[in-house]
Structure 1
Amino acid sequence: MRHLLTLLLSACLLAANTPAHAADPVGLSFLSVPVPERHGTMEISLWYPALAGGTPILIGVSPLFKGETAQRDAPAAAGDFPLILLSHGGLKSGPFIGAWMASRLASEGFVVAMMRQPDPQTMTSEESIHEIWLRPADLSAALTAIEKDSTLPAKIDRNRIGVLGFLIGGTSALSVAGGSLDPESFARSCGPNGTGVDCAEFARAGIDLHSVDRQQLSRSHLDTRVKAVVVIDPEFGASFTPESLKHISIPVRLINLGTPATIWPGLRISGLKDTIPNARYDLLGDTSQYGAFSECKPGGAAILQEEGEEPLCDDPEGTSRATIHDRLAENIAAAFRTDLPQ
């Protein structure tokens, strides 16, 4: 079933005229950036405030999810815009899982560089663990490439750079802010009374977290070019060393999706606000962790139920995924406007 879910989450690009989310014009371009730690390059998508023009393109559509429409290679709106590096997804995630957020933030006046992780269909469970230290390295590598690129369609204010992360992307955001993981705490996350999210898959693959490279887990990913981070439902949040969190010097917004009763224990981060000096914690109670996924197609919930998969398309009664996304994007845009240097 997990293989089927990976296929359903895998998104593609299509020429299109009908968006899932209508907003101000959003431009989209694609960049190939060097990522030394992966010994190759990574494709990233760059979303930006745009003028009329370009070619309509639908990105992120899949058998489960609607896509987001942007104007490929449209002329950029005038001005220098803050840059947000966006990392979304768990250890294995679809390539455009964060397109809905990138589109909304671009319409709010940000340039968004969305990381495209390796194909989850070709990644083993053991290889996926390496994403814990590779993804924060991806963020810094992408930022370096963007800073060197003189052909970007939109102008970037290099003094206003933020990172937005969901799930393992949230772990990465805390890492580039200065947090360091404790290997012992990480290993215990899949032990008795542990709160690890992927423990069942690790167990099926015969992976002992005590054997994971301790040096890689505990290394510093601090990137002083980043001036603020927003962290949503990060995995392994409880495994950061308190000492490293105490030394984070930039504003950190911590967000959980759901209620105290519904948030998965491994994603709870309310306790971090008292450890990180410049942290603020928000709870969006009219959603769940599934609100971080794209808006579903009408038949999406039935497909998941038939296959016995997680209810990724279910939202609390009286809410809609589109409304949840709009509210979350507004909150994040407001956070970055406040927390990034003026």
Structure 2
Amino acid sequence: MKTLNTKRFSVALTLALIGACAHAAGFQHGFAADPDGKPLEIGIWYPSSAAVLPVAMGPTTMSVAVKGPVQGQALPLVLISHGTGGSFLGHFDTAMALADAGFVVAAVTHTGDNYADQSRAVDIMDRPRQISRVIDHMLASWAGRAAIDPARVGMFGFSAGGFTTLASIGGVPDFSKIEPVCRQYPVDFACQLLAKNGGSNVTPPAASTIANAADPRIKAAVVAAPALGFSFAPDGLKNVKVPVQLWRAEDDAILPHPRYAEAVRLALPQAPEYHLVPKAGHFDFLAPCSSALALIAPPICTSASGFDRVEFHARFNAAVVGFFSKTLRAH
């Protein structure tokens, strides 16, 4: 989850790609049908042998082969779920690293919880359903679908997207835990968000919505700084059977230790591949900022003294690629 207001984060997203990117990939921007809502905006990165060119997206630029042909067969697919107030561009560097390594990546802009519209930011259990609709689209409707191996699907999620990922792989959150936690820790971002939307005693999702959130097509997951991690403790993750790579920022002031990532680590039935990032803050999991972005949106760009986000992301992306390469092996 993020603490940025809509206007600030909108600017941040449009500028996030200004810096030169080390990876080349095919790229498509499109929409996935959602029978229960608005079409879902998606960005798709994938391996392509086509020549890349600098492409402007508003005031942003990235070097990609727009609509270039997909290269490869039986490619694994990775879904990306952003945090509160984000968009499909929030983890573009990770998406491009995966595409460069032979993955198809589909990142969604969540309806009702994005930089332009946060009218449904507290309806967090609708996010897993949206992810499933994107998987449907990629496997059944996307023009390059023949290149995807439907048995090799993974998911990456940050913050609210981390919660989304956990719910999508079988996690069952207990929303009754939110009110007492928020009473004790009212400054937590989730509690502030709820307070703006009617308080921490908002009506919880229907039991059927929670029970049907899991998508068995997802075979591996990367979870970074998961929101509402405490809602899965102690046994809400007992049904998770897929391998998980879990990341925690040591100095995360948005989702403070030990209520979030640590609660998830302890609740997972099988120990995750766990990474604690020294000196990192919550927003250090977002793509490194350009100088222009740093001037406009310092809250998501300012790292602790001595912390190098660019260097960290080189290691972070390599670890994410390595994890999915290992866990989504071809059969």
**Alignment TM-score, normalising by the size of structure 1:** 0.83
Counterpart of 2:312 (choices 316, 324, 328) is 324
Alignment of 1:1-342 (within 5 A): 2-11=5-14, 20-23=20-23, 25-38=24-37, 40-53=38-51, 56-59=54-57, 68-90=62-84, 92-118=85-111, 119-124=114-119, 127-130=120-123, 132-149=124-141, 151-152=143-144, 155-193=147-185, 196-203=188-195, 205=196, 207-215=198-206, 218-259=210-251, 264-265=256-257, 268-280=260-272, 281-304=274-297, 311-342=299-330
Unaligned runs of 5+ in 1: 306-310
Which is further off, 70-79 or 327-336? 70-79
Deviation at 1:337, TM superposition (A): 1.6
Deviation at 1:67, TM superposition (A): 5.1
**Alignment TM-score, normalising by the size of structure 2:** 0.86
Give deviations 1:95-115, integer Å, cap 9, x for gaps.
Answer: 421212211211122110111
Deviation at 1:214, TM superposition (A): 3.6
**Cα distance in 2 between the residues matched to 1:304 and 1:341:** 39
* CA shift in 2, pair 1:31/1:266, >3 Å: farther
* CA shift in 2, pair 1:106/1:36, >3 Å: same
- What SS is found at the alignment partner of 2:36? helix
Percent identity (aligned) = 24
Deviation at 1:154, TM superposition (A): 6.9
Give deviations 1:239-278, integer Å, cap 9, x for gaps.
Answer: 1253331121111111112358996237632343333223
**Cα distance in 1 between the residues matched to 2:321 and 2:169:** 18
Give deviations 1:29-74, integer Å, cap 9, x for gaps.
Answer: 1332112332x31121110011023654245x76xxx754321011
- The answer to whether the 8 A contact 1:171-1:236 is kept is yes
Q: Alpha carbon RMSD of aligned pairs, Å?
A: 2.9
Q: 1:82 corresponds to which letter in structure 2?
A: P
**Cα distance in 2 between the residues matched to 1:13 and 1:182:** 35
- What SS is found at the alignment partner of 2:154? strand
**Cα distance in 2 between the residues matched to 1:3 and 1:175:** 26
**Cα distance in 1 between the residues matched to 2:19 and 2:107:** 19
Deviation at 1:283, TM superposition (A): 0.9
Give deviations 1:108-153, integer Å, cap 9, x for gaps.
Answer: 22110111224533333xx2111x1121111111111211126217
- The answer to whether the 8 A contact 1:233-1:267 is kept is no
Q: 1:83 corresponds to which letter in structure 2?
A: L
* CA shift in 2, pair 1:185/1:330, >3 Å: same
Unaligned runs of 5+ in 2: none
Give deviations 1:147-172, integer Å, cap 9, x for gaps.
Answer: 11262177112111101000111101
Which is further off, 251-260 or 44-53? 251-260
- What SS is found at the alignment partner of 2:242? coil
